[in-house]
Structure 1
Amino acid sequence: MARIVRIHELGGPEVLRIEEVEVPPPAPGEIRLRVKALGLNRAESMFRIGYYPESPDFPARLGYEAAGVIEALGAGVTGFAVGDAVSIVPPLSITRWGTYGEVANVPAEATIKHPANLSWTEAAAVWMQYVTAYGALIEIAGLGRGDSVLITAASSSVGLAAIQIANRVGATSIAATRTAAKAAALRDAGAAHVIVTEEEDLAARAKAITGGAGVRAVFDPVAGPSFDALAEALGQGGILIEYGALSPEPTPFPLFPALVKGLTFKGYQYKEIVRDPAKLDRAKRFIVEGLTDGSLKPLIDRVFALDQIVEATRYLESNQQIGKIVVTI
C-alpha cells in the first residue's frame, strides 16, 4: 500500500484526496518509482477541472513529473537497475500514468538518469518545462544566434525555461509579464528585456527592442484577446507558437498581420517531442548538457510536503509564483 493522490470528481484543489492504494507491479516496459519529489504543472489543474484534451476515469491519478529511486523493473526493461536515481519526462497520457504519491509506475522510455549535480527537488522540476520550451524554440522555430523571441507568461516554469534556452543558443529573450511585480525577478532570471503589458504597448515595445523589425518568434500559453498584439509584435515571416489556452475569452484570428507578414501560427504540445524518438533524444541531450554546464537550471519557487498537496495546488493557481512548485515525499 502507498499514499496516492487521486480525484473522484472534477473540481477545485479541494477534490484532491490522499488515499492508501495498492499500486500494482510495473507492466512490461514500465518501471516502479519510489517518488522523492514531484513537480506541479498547469496541465494537471486543467485536467482536474475538466478543461484538458484528456478526461479523467474516476478514481483518477494525476501528475506528470517526478524524481526518485527505481524499486522494480517491468518485463523487457533494459538500461536501468533497481536503486537508480531517475527523473521522468512527462509521458503521453496523464490518464494512464500519474506521479502524485509515494509510488508511481511510469514508462521506461520516459525515464532518465539525470545529472548527479541535481537535488531531488531540482530533478522533479526539469522535464516538463525544458522539453516544452526546447520543442517550441529549437525544433519548431529553429531559434539561433541573433534571433529574438517574445515569451509571455514568462514567470511560469516553462517561461523561465524558454528564457534560459534562448540565452543558451544566443537569441534575445524578451519576457512579457502583466504587472511590474515580477519584472525585476525576470531580469534576474536572465531575460534580456521585460515588457510590462499593463503599462506598455506590447507590440510597440517589441518592435522598438528589435529595431523595428519585430520578433522572430512568439511563445505563448495564454491566447485570448492578446493574440492580435502578439501577431503585431512578429516580424516578417515570424512564427507564433501557442502551447496553452489560459485565457477564457475568445481568441481572434489576426488576418491582416498574417497576410501582410506571411506569419505562421502553430498549435503545440510537448507531446510532439515525446512521441518522436529522434526529437526526444535530441531534447534529452540538449537539456542534460545544459543542466551539466549550468546554462539550464530550474528555478524553484516553493516546496511543499505531500500532505500539503491541496495548499500547493492552490498556490500554483494563485499565479504568485516565479518558477516551479515542487512537492517532496
Structure 2
Amino acid sequence: MPRVVVFDAFGGPEVMRIVEEPVPEPAAGEVRVRIEAFAVNPLDLMMRSGASPAPVPLPHARLGVEGTGVVDALGPDTTGLAVGDPVLLTAVPDAVVRGSYAEYTTVPAGRVIPRPAGLGTTQAAAVWVAYSTAYGALVERAKIRPGDHLLITAASGAVGRAAMQIARYLGAVPLAVTRHTARTDDLLAAGAEAVIVTDREDVAEAVRRHTGGAGADLVLDLVRGPGQQDLVQAVRPGATLVAAGFLDPRPTPFPAGPSLTSFNYRGFDLLFDPVVVRRMAAFLSAGLSHGAFQPAIGEVFALDDVAEAHRHVEEGRHGGKKVVVTV
C-alpha cells in the first residue's frame, strides 16, 4: 500500500513516522495525484512542532502544502485534466488530512495547475510556494512598478530569493537585508542590487545611500517583530510595506514613521481565487521560460529520510535554499 507521513504528537522531527494506507479515491470534482516530490516549508515545521497558527488535530496528522506529481485518477464530474498530466499543487486546504508528504493525495481539481514545460521534478516541487507568495505580495498587493526600490528582509530565504528575481524581472531594484555579512556574496549572486547587513549598518542610512537619499518605495518584510520599525524609517513618504512573514515571534509595533500603506499578507490569501491563481501561473511560466526565475534547491532527501530533511531545515543547514524530498 502507498506510504504516508503522519505524526501523533507535537515535537521534533522524530515524531514523524511513515505508515501505509489505502490509495485514496477522489471525490466529485477532485483529482488524485501521484506525488513525485515535495518541498519542506517553514509551515510544515510549525505544524509538526505545535507552533502552527491554525489548529492541528491529533493523532494521525499529515503535512505538506507543496509538491508536484502526475494526475493518477479523476473524480466524478472532474473536467479540464487528464490522467497522466504533470501538475503542481497550488493549495492543499486541509494539509493536516491530505498533505503532500505522501505517495498519493487527493485535492480539488482547481488546486492544481499544469507543471511548467521544461521544469524538472525537483525544481517543480519547490517552485510554487515561494514564487506565488512573492508574486502575491509584490504584484497583487503592493503593485510593484519598474524603477521601484524594494527592500527585502530575510532575503536569503526562498521567498526572499523569489522576490529579488521577480523584482529584477519587472525592472525594480531589490535591496536585500540580512543579519549575516557572510551571506553578502550569495545574495548579490542571487539578484540583489545591494546588500544591507544589519549587524554592521544602520538600515535607514544604508537605504538612503542606495536610493540617492529618497528611501525605499516598497518593503517586503518576511520577519516582522520589533525590527520592522527600522524598515519604516528607511522608506520614502507614501511607500508601501507588505508584511508577509513571521520569523520573529515577538510583537510587531504599529508602524510609526513616514506615511505609508501597510498590508498583512499570507501565502494562502489569494490561492483560492482561480482568477489570481491563473495570473500567478502565467507569470511563473513566463519567468521560468525566460530564465528569469531559478529556484534555489538545497539538499534532496528520500521519503525514508524525511525526519533528517526537517532537521536540516530546522538547524539552518539549508542556507535558505529549498529542501526537497523525493517520493
TM range (shorter): over 0.9
Aligned residue in 1 for 2:271:
274
Contact 2:37 2:67 in 1 (8 A): yes
Letter in 2 for 1:303: V
Equivalents in 2 of 1:231, 1:182: separation in Å?
Answer: 23
CA drift of 1:203 comes to 1.8
SS of the aligned residue for 2:78 comes to coil
Equivalents in 2 of 1:49, 1:23: separation in Å?
Answer: 27
CA drift of 1:60 comes to 0.9
Contact 1:91 1:274 in 2 (8 A): no
Aligned residue in 2 for 1:185:
186
Equivalents in 2 of 1:37, 1:311: separation in Å?
Answer: 16
Root-mean-square deviation (Å): 1.4
Aligned residue in 2 for 1:30:
30
Letter in 2 for 1:88: L
2:148 paired with 1:147: yes
Aligned residue in 1 for 2:284:
287
Equivalents in 2 of 1:298, 1:179: separation in Å?
Answer: 21
CA drift of 1:146 comes to 0.7
Equivalents in 1 of 2:289, 2:107: separation in Å?
Answer: 25
Aligned residue in 1 for 2:5:
5
CA drift of 1:254 comes to 3.3
CA drift of 1:185 comes to 1.0
Letter in 1 for 2:193: A
Equivalents in 1 of 2:204, 2:98: separation in Å?
Answer: 41
Aligned residue in 2 for 1:71:
72
Aligned residue in 2 for 1:327:
325
Aligned residue in 1 for 2:44:
44
Aligned residue in 1 for 2:301:
304
Letter in 2 for 1:12: G
Letter in 2 for 1:9: A
Moved over 4 A (4+): none
Aligned residue in 2 for 1:165:
166
Equivalents in 2 of 1:268, 1:51: separation in Å?
Answer: 19
Consecutive unaligned residues of structure 2, counting only runs of 5 or more, are: none
| Cα distance change of structure 1 residues 316 and 28 upon mapping to structure 2, 3 Å threshold | same
**How many residue pairs get matched?**
325
1:229-269 residue CA offsets vs partner (Å, 9 max, x unmatched): 011112111121111221132222232x0xxx211221111
Equivalents in 1 of 2:236, 2:305: separation in Å?
Answer: 45
Identity of aligned residues (%): 45
Contact 1:179 1:199 in 2 (8 A): no
CA drift of 1:16 comes to 1.3
Equivalents in 2 of 1:35, 1:64: separation in Å?
Answer: 12
CA drift of 1:96 comes to 4.2
Letter in 2 for 1:126: V
Letter in 1 for 2:36: K
Aligned residue in 2 for 1:92:
93
1:166-221 residue CA offsets vs partner (Å, 9 max, x unmatched): 00000001111110122111111111111111121112111211111111111122
Equivalents in 2 of 1:221, 1:152: separation in Å?
Answer: 6
Aligned residue in 2 for 1:253:
254
TM-score by length of 2: 0.95
Equivalents in 2 of 1:268, 1:147: separation in Å?
Answer: 20
Contact 1:227 1:253 in 2 (8 A): no
Equivalents in 2 of 1:86, 1:161: separation in Å?
Answer: 20
CA drift of 1:91 comes to 3.0
